[in-house]
Structure 1
Amino acid sequence: MQRRIQIALVALGVIVTLIGAVIIAGAYRNDSKINANKATAVADVISADRLHAAVNFVTPDGVLRNPKLGLLYPTNLSTGQRILVDYDASDPDNLARPVGRNARLSIVPALSVIAAGWAAVILVLVVVAESGRRSRRSAA
């Protein structure tokens, strides 16, 4: 039983690692899509918090855009700011980021997720191993 629990915990650690890798890969994919059809506009930040920023900007065709999921890399923005955004000209309603920010900003948070996940897995592995050792000692 202990062995199955340990295998499941290691599998959980691998899954957490894969999640972190997908976070980084997704950020680089989004950046490459923006860079392939990059356009720049002045945007108004209409709402912002630590993890999300909603903006409005006007594209050259005169259409007011508001990316559905907000900006990529939204940290340190505040409501009411006017900023420059790079966006995917072929998909301005989905992909936009503040000028000067890129996928490298996703590396530290993704590595933090991986590190925290493995720290929790290792802690539980030690607890399971210790409880198994104690139960074997008491049975002997």
Structure 2
Amino acid sequence: MTPILVRRVQITLAALGVVVTLIGAVIVAGAYRNDAKIDANKATAVAEVIAADRLHAAVNFVTPDGVLRNPKLGLLYPTQLSTGQRILVDYDSTDPDTLARPAGRGADLSIKPAVSIVAAGWIVVIMLMLAVAEVGRRTRRG
């Protein structure tokens, strides 16, 4: 493997690391944006969790106008919920079918998963960069 090829592969891998970092930043920024939209038109209701797993929770709640709501994408920050549980949810009163979260939870819960994604991405990128450098070194030697 020529030094030029090694350098190009490493630059491509570094670019991939930057993309992973941007993905992490978008995750956190999106969570803060969603929270800001909820907080701008915040309403609270009692909801029943109709389905829940580690990454998703679906709920039903009734808005003051008497309409049964079920947010299309489920709740934001759905961890530690179980089916049948009754919880308070904060929702965007202008769009209750889209944005809802358990009361008291916020975007700061998105930081840890985003940092984990970025860290894992960079670990993989660095390991691949080192492997490419080693292959290049061995190729030049012999």
- TM-score, normalised via structure 2 length: 0.97
**Aligned partner letter, 1:96:** A
> Out of 5, 13, 19, which is 1:15 matched to?
19
**Aligned partner letter, 1:80:** G
| Number of corresponding residues | 138
**Aligned partner letter, 1:56:** N
Distance in 1, matches of 2:95 and 2:9, equals: 46
Hey, what does 2:71 align to over in structure 1?
A: 67
Give unmatched runs, 5+ long, in structure 2.
none
Cα RMSD (Å) of the superposition?
0.3
Hey, what does 2:137 align to over in structure 1?
A: 133
> Out of 111, 115, 122, which is 1:111 matched to?
115
Q: Give the secondary structure class of the aligned counterpart of 2:135.
A: helix
Q: Give the secondary structure class of the aligned counterpart of 1:100.
A: coil
1:24 and 2:45 correspond: no
> Out of 81, 88, 108, which is 1:84 matched to?
88
Residue 101 of structure 1, CA deviation: 0.2
Residue 2 of structure 1, CA deviation: 1.2
Residue 104 of structure 1, CA deviation: 0.2
Q: Give the secondary structure class of the aligned counterpart of 2:122.
A: helix
- TM-score, normalised via structure 1 length: 0.98
Residue 133 of structure 1, CA deviation: 0.5
Cα offsets for 1:25-82 (capped at 9, x unmatched): 0000000000000000000000000000000000000000000000000000000000
1:52 and 2:66 correspond: no
Consecutive aligned runs of 4 or more in structure 1 exceeding 4 Å deviation: none
**Aligned partner letter, 2:18:** V
Give unmatched runs, 5+ long, in structure 1.
none
**Aligned partner letter, 1:44:** E
Distance in 2, matches of 1:100 and 1:79, equals: 19
Q: Give the secondary structure class of the aligned counterpart of 1:128.
A: helix
Distance in 1, matches of 2:103 and 2:44, equals: 8
